[in-house]
Amino acid sequence: MASTRNDSAVTVRDVAQLAGVSPGTVSKALNGQGQLREETRQRVQEAAEKLRFRPNQVARSLAEGRTYTVGMLTSDSFGRFTLPLMEGIEDSLGAGKVSTLLCDGRGDPLRERHYLAELLNRRVDGIVVTGRRPDERRSVGQLPIPVVYVLGRSDDPEDLTVTNDDEQGARLAVEHLVAHGRTRLAYVSGPAHHLSTQLRRQGFEAAAAAAGMTVSDLLTGHWSEAWGRTAAGLLARRTSGLVDGVVCGSDQIARGLTDGLREAGVRVPQDVSVVGFDNWDVMVQAARPPLTTVDPKLVRLGRLSASRLLAAIDGAELGRGVVAQPCELVIRESSVPT
Amino acid sequence: MASTRNDSAVTVRDVAQLAGVSPGTVSKALNGQGQLREETRQRVQEAAEKLRFRPNQVARSLAEGRTYTVGMLTSDSFGRFTLPLMEGIEDSLGAGKVSTLLCDGRGDPLRERHYLAELLNRRVDGIVVTGRRPDERRSVGQLPIPVVYVLGRSDDPEDLTVTNDDEQGARLAVEHLVAHGRTRLAYVSGPAHHLSTQLRRQGFEAAAAAAGMTVSDLLTGHWSEAWGRTAAGLLARRTSGLVDGVVCGSDQIARGLTDGLREAGVRVPQDVSVVGFDNWDVMVQAARPPLTTVDPKLVRLGRLSASRLLAAIDGAELGRGVVAQPCELVIRESSVPT
DNA sequence: ATGAAAGCGCTAACAA
DNA sequence: TTGTTAGCGCTTTCAT
């Protein structure tokens, strides 16, 4: 029937008629295309406003062959890491009047394939694949549109991945400890088979070696406070003058460790300095004392990945391989002995 | 030019040609419309697959006057509460082959208006507005499409809001404590002017009164662990035989309180039972002991709101006012004395 | 500087 | 049961 349901009803033709011009002119006037007399442009604009004209993006997309939409596909579910990433992605996209279509793959390959097809059918201009997963994730393959992976890496070296530099982050932490006179360092992190555990360990060891420090312990376990507390026990047993600086693989571990140490009578940071990883506000603030930590700058990561994607959509080379962005150290009280 | 960029190139016409039918028939065959001979449908399907036909949803949307897309507008930023809501929303929408367009209002009215306009231009079929904000949020106003608010309430009684029943949640907590022999109860929550603080307090008081319990304290402060610890100090000073059950307004508070009590030599749950609110995994698991808590069932909330929206899009009455869904109690160790 | 006309790829009403 | 014909609302050459 005529007006199906949510029709704004008013189209370029209505505006054209009111302004006394042709539809083509309306299009040009409203989009700043072509050569129009200023007076005409004005008149069209007024007509559009008067009629509360809502240009139909769907029609525009069809005509233009471009949707100004990008898909955001999460490999694992929406996690805590997804939020800052999304924020950054929206930052970049919003600036370019591009909208985000959300798809939560939930770590299910089938679901993911389904969503991928959907995004393609909807003719998105590009896709950003986010995900925090141990190690790499399967590439979505060669697509007719640019794809960028953020945080979680693609297993295809031809794809572009934007992520944080775990190794550098850990180095930052070590250098900070060393600068504050710490000499006997330990590393306490998550599961040994996680890529981030490994990369951070490499950074830790490299920096420790470079500074000529003693590495007393390299402990791997879980990404939990409980593990942090357990590790505190392990370290505390031989604490007297032994370990005086600990780099943790996450803020949760760091917090658990701090709690554990305090309860074992070890003072943080006087006796032992602790540095976390993630700069997760909740953990970092609630810890006693507040945690010095390595910030992977996830919002920035999101922004960067989206802007690379936009550039690629506009014809630039997308690039390939892993782009690792530097982390930043955020100094709070857990690491600086009076 | 002919192939702009990301053209799958293959259209209904190509499929039609290969299958030896007309474009209209292809449409019907692929969408299960009209009366087709099974053999024809088959042939079309094969042709489509062979050509790797990707039906252009944009064109379909334009023709059908429906986009199978809903907008998700967050009032405050993506917060921790947003994740489970999104999960639920996606659950419902995904089932209906509807996609989600993401818009993060970030609490900025200007930004929000901009996004709203964008969603309307894109002709979304409906909008779900999410938000955790103290008190109500401004209605986005009468729109030509259905809108449902979730978690954060609209200030317009004509709008539909789906949220959790804070009062009932608090009652649940009290009843649980009472059932376990607790008799002198306290309520420790966030800022007094937050609606959720108030509603939960009402539930708390009503249930306590109904059970003939003594209410020793009603404390309001912040949604933080630090405040929980402070409150623990306040309670502990007069603990000996006084307070034996505490209902907290959040898991963070509950966790801080538990830590504070423990450090003050009060045993949880032997001396005092503690119940949190939110069932936020991180907090609830890391607390010692793990927290009994009220679960607002956010995923379910998301699912419900989206399915109401879908129904409305399909012509059903949307309804109005606040629909408060019951919370559920999750029992762990912090509340059950031996 | 503006208008006319074709077409983006699909669906849907109407014929055949 | 299938084909034909119009659009959906916009952009975009190409004339004028």
- Where on strand C do bases come within 7 A of a protein Cβ? 1-13
Positions 28-67 in B, CB within 7 angstroms of strand C: 28, 30-31, 33, 53-56, 59-60, 62-64
Chain-chain contact of A224 with B285 (C-beta, under 8 angstroms): yes
Q: Which tokens is A34 given?
A: 């072509």
Q: CB A144 to CB B6 under 8 A?
A: yes
CB-contacted nucleotides of strand D (7 Å)? 1-13
- How confident is the model over B178-195, as pLDDT tens digits? 999 999 999 999 999 999
Mapping DSSP to helix (H, G, I), strand (E, B) and coil, where does residue A76 land?
coil
Point out the residue among B55, B65, B97 whose CB comes nearest to the CB of A4: B65
What sign results for the dihedral spanned by CA atoms B274, B278, B279, B280? negative
pLDDT in tens, chain A (338 residues): 333 333 458 999 999 999 999 999 999 999 998 888 999 999 999 999 999 999 999 999 999 999 999 999 998 777 889 999 999 999 999 888 999 999 999 989 999 999 999 999 999 999 999 998 777 899 999 999 999 999 999 999 999 999 999 999 999 999 999 999 999 999 999 999 999 999 999 999 999 999 999 898 999 999 999 999 999 999 988 756 679 999 999 999 999 999 999 999 999 999 999 999 999 999 999 999 999 999 999 999 999 999 999 999 999 999 999 999 999 999 999 999 87
Residue nearest C7, CA–C1′ metric: A63
Distance A60 CA to C4 C1' (A): 19
Q: Which residues of A touch B145 (CB under 8 A)?
A: 6
Burial B114-147 (b: 16+ CB within 10 A, else e): ebbebbbbbbbbbbbbbbbeeebbebbeeeebbb
Distance (Å, rounded) from C-alpha A271 to C-alpha B112? Answer: 50
Nearest to B19 by CA among B38, B2, B42, B43: B43
Residue nearest to nucleotide C11 (CA to C1'): B63
Nearest CA distance, B208 vs chain A (angstrom)? 31
Tokens representing A75 are 């490999």
**Environment class of B20 (CB within 10 Å of its CB; exposed 0-12, middle 13-18, buried 19+):** exposed
Measured between beta carbons, the chain A residues lying within 8 angstroms of B7 are 65, 144
Residue nearest to nucleotide C3 (CA to C1'): A22
Residue nearest to nucleotide D2 (CA to C1'): B25
Q: Within a 10 A sphere around the Cβ of A14, how many other Cβ atoms?
A: 17
Quickly state the pLDDT bin for B240 (edges 50, 70, 90): low
Nearest chain A Cα to B290, which residue? Answer: A226
Other beta carbons less than 10 A from residue B206's beta carbon: 15
Among B56, B102, B252, beta carbon nearest to A123? B56
Residues of B in contact with A100 (CB under 8 A): 101-103
* Most A CBs within 10 Å, among B5, B58, B223, to test the A interface: B58
Instruction: Report all structural domains of chain B as residue ranges with CATH numbers, in order of start.
Output: 12-55 (1.10.260.40), 69-164+298-329 (3.40.50.2300), 166-296 (3.40.50.2300)
User: Going by DSSP bridges, is the β-strand pair B184-189/B245-248 parallel, antiparallel, or unpaired?
Assistant: parallel
Torsion from C-alpha of B64, B68, B69, B70, nearest 10 degrees: 110
Suggest the residue from A11, A52, A54, A57 to mutate for an interface test with chain B (most B CBs closer than 10 A).
Answer: A57
Mutation target among B1, B10, B30, B57 for the A interface, most CBs of A within 10 A: B57
At B239 the pLDDT is 55
Which protein residues have Cβ within 7 A of any strand D atom? A 7, 9, 11-13, 23-24, 26-28, 30-31, 33-34, 53-56, 59-60, 62-64; B 20-25, 28, 34-37, 39-41, 59, 62-63, 65
Chain B residue numbers with beta carbons less than 8 Å from the beta carbon of A62 are 56, 58-59, 62
Is the CB of B99 less than 8 angstroms away from the CB of A102? Answer: yes
**Nearest Cα residue to B188 out of B153, B244, B235:** B235
- Nearest Cα of chain A lies from the Cα of B312 at a distance, in angstroms, of 12
The pLDDT of residue B8 is 57
How are the residues of chain B apportioned to helix, strand and coil, as percentages rounded to the nearest 5? 40, 20, 40
From chain B, pick out residues whose CB is under 8 angstroms from the CB of A256.
Answer: 286
What CA–CA distances, in Å, run from A312 to A316, A318, B299? Answer: 4, 5, 36
Q: What is the pTM of this model?
A: 0.94
How does strand A321-325 pair with strand A292-295?
unpaired
Distance A23 CA to C3 C1' (A): 9
Q: Do A157 and A139 touch, CB atoms closer than 8 A?
A: no
| Strand order across the beta sheet in which A245-248 lies | A214-220, A184-189, A245-248, A273-277, A292-295, A328-330
What's the average model confidence in pLDDT over B325-335? 98
Chain A contact set for B225 (CB, 8 A): 286
Chain B residues touching residue A7 (CB < 8 angstroms): 65, 144
**Cβ–Cβ of A86/B78 closer than 8 Å?**
yes
Identify from B102, B118, B251, B303 which residue to disrupt to test chain A contact, counting A C-beta atoms within 10 A and taking the largest count: B102
Answer yes or no: do A104 and B90 touch at CB < 8 A.
Answer: yes
A-B interface: how many C-beta pairs under 8 angstroms?
Answer: 133
Q: Which residue has the tokens 């603080």?
A: B197
B chain contacts of residue A286, beta-carbon cutoff 8 Å: 224-226, 252, 256
Q: Which residue of A has its CA nearest to B68?
A: A122
- B96 by Cβ neighbours in 10 Å (0-12 / 13-18 / 19+) ranks as middle
Percent of chain B, pLDDT > 90?
87
**pLDDT the model gives residue B133:** 78
Residues of chain A neighbouring B54 (CB-CB closer than 8 A): 117, 120-121
What is the 8-class DSSP label of residue A247? E
Distance B181 CA to C2 C1' (A): 85
Beta-carbon separation of B121 and A87 below 8 A? no
* pLDDT of res. B2: 32
φ and ψ at residue A105, rounded to 5 degrees: -70, -25
**Among partner residues B55, B82, B121, which is closest to A121 by beta-carbon distance?**
B55
The residues near B128 (Cβ < 8 Å, ≥ 6 apart) are B70, B71, B72, B73, B89, B147, B148, B149, B150, B305, B306, B309
Task: Determine the distance in angstroms separating the CA of A115 from the nearest CA of chain B, rounded to an integer.
Answer: 9
**Residue B147, strand partner residues:** B127
- Tell me which residue of B129, B128, B125, B199 sits closest to B165, measured CA to CA: B199
Residues 6 or more apart in contact with residue A213 via CB below 8 angstroms: A174, A178, A182, A183, A184, A185
- Average pLDDT, integer, range B55-76: 95
